[in-house]
């Protein structure tokens, strides 16, 4: 089961990807988490990615495509995976399709989590993220048991640098310009499914499970 999560930044892709991966026992591959881990470890990739991420821009395709194409070939991906935050441009989607076609595979589901721009700024300013395990919370909608501490691994939570309102506005512009065209791309491939991301987290998940099947 090869699944792609589509949607604006803050639509809830990561939140739902976590739940899908737990239910179907497949890996959650978040390119944003991969970049943030590289930034934390001060790698060369992290330094390059940070300069784009801080401005709300996409990291160039050549820094992300090979990384994902290699990752999905790993043994733990044999049963499938959820790609969260990739692809974000048409060339990325084409590169993924080409790599999959080479081994007779394809994307099975592209799930678009729909949330209007008006709701996004609020979602992002309340988002708290764990840089150690990638878990995501919201101070009002999805709070942790202990304020500021990750329920899953006990690490401290952060407000992401790129979740500041000015950067979020830029990220939304970039989303509409470069990522939204993927909705048509996957519609044409016959694998696109839409869910209403404004609903409560469990309701959104229920809609996704209906799409994926038990
Ligand atoms: P994305 O991965 O699309 O950027 P996240 O999954 O990180 O988005 O969600 C963005 C913020 O919104 C987080 O703080 C998350 O806890 C919160 N969130 C996710 N889904 C919902 C929901 N259905 N209702 C309310 N808040 C949500
Ligand atoms: P995310 O955690 O998915 O919101 O990603 C955070 C940031 O990482 C984005 O705003 C981009 O700067 C960068 N990024 C993540 N995934 C990609 C990708 N597939 N292509 C380009 N940039 C990406």
214 residues of the chain, pLDDT tens digit each: 999 999 999 999 999 999 999 999 999 999 999 999 999 999 999 999 999 999 999 999 999 999 999 999 999 999 999 999 999 999 999 999 999 999 999 999 999 999 999 999 888 989 999 989 889 999 999 999 999 999 999 999 999 889 988 899 999 999 999 999 999 999 999 999 999 999 999 999 999 999 999 7
Residue appearing with tokens 């990325």: 92
User: What is the distance, to the nearest Å, from the Cα of residue 14 to the centroid of all Cα atoms in its chain?
Assistant: 5
Residues 6 or more apart whose CB falls under 8 angstroms from that of 42 comprise none
Q: Quote the CA–CA distance of 185 and 180 in Å, as a whole number.
A: 9
Any atom of ligand 1 within 6 Å of the Cβ of 126? yes
124 contacts: CB under 8 Å, gap ≥ 6? 9, 10, 163, 165, 168
Q: What is the pLDDT of residue 161?
A: 87
- Cα–Cα nearest to 149, from 124, 127, 128: 128
* Binding site membership of 88 for ligand 1 (Cβ less than 6 Å): no
Q: What is the C-alpha separation between 82 and 24, in angstroms, rounded?
A: 10
Ligand nearest to the CA of 124: 1
Nearest ligand to the CA atom of 6: 1
Contacts of 117 (CB under 8 A, 6+ apart): 8, 172
Number of residues that make up the chain: 214
β pairing state of 28-30 and 127-130: unpaired
Partner residues linked to 3 by β-bridges: 82, 109
Radius of gyration in angstroms for the set of CA atoms belonging to the chain, rounded to a whole number: 16
User: Which pTM was predicted?
Assistant: 0.95
Predicted pLDDT at 131: 85
DSSP-assigned letter for residue 177: I
Residue to mutate, 6, 10, 17, 35, ligand 2, most ligand atoms under 8 Å from C-beta: 35
Tally the C-alpha atoms within 13 A of residue 30's C-alpha that lie toward its C-beta: 20
How much helix, strand and coil, in percent to the nearest 5, is found in the chain? Answer: 50, 15, 35
């Amino acid at each position: 089961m090869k699944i792609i999560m589509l949607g604006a930044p803050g639509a809830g892709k990561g939140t739902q990807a976590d739940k899908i991966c737990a239910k179907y026992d497949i890996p959650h591959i978040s390119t944003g988490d991969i970049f943030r881990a590289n930034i934390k470890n001060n790698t060369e990739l992290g330094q390059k990615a940070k300069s784009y991420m801080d401005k709300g821009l996409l990291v160039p395709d050549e820094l992300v495509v090979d990384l994902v194409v290699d990752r999905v070939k790993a043994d733990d991906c044999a049963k499938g995976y959820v790609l969260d935050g990739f692809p974000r441009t048409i060339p990325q989607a084409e590169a993924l399709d080409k790599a999959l076609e080479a081994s007779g595979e394809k994307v099975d589901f592209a799930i678009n989590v729909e949330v209007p721009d008006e709701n996004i700024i609020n979602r992002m300013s309340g988002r708290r993220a764990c840089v150690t395990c990638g878990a995501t919370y919201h101070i009002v909608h999805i709070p942790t048991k202990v304020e500021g501490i990750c329920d899953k691994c006990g690490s401290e939570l952060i407000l992401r640098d790129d979740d500041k309102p000015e950067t979020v506005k830029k990220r939304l512009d970039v989303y509409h310009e470069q990522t939204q065209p993927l909705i048509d791309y996957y519609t044409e491939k016959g694998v696109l499914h839409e869910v209403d991301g404004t609903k409560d987290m469990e309701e959104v998940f229920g809609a996704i499970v209906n799409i994926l099947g038990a």
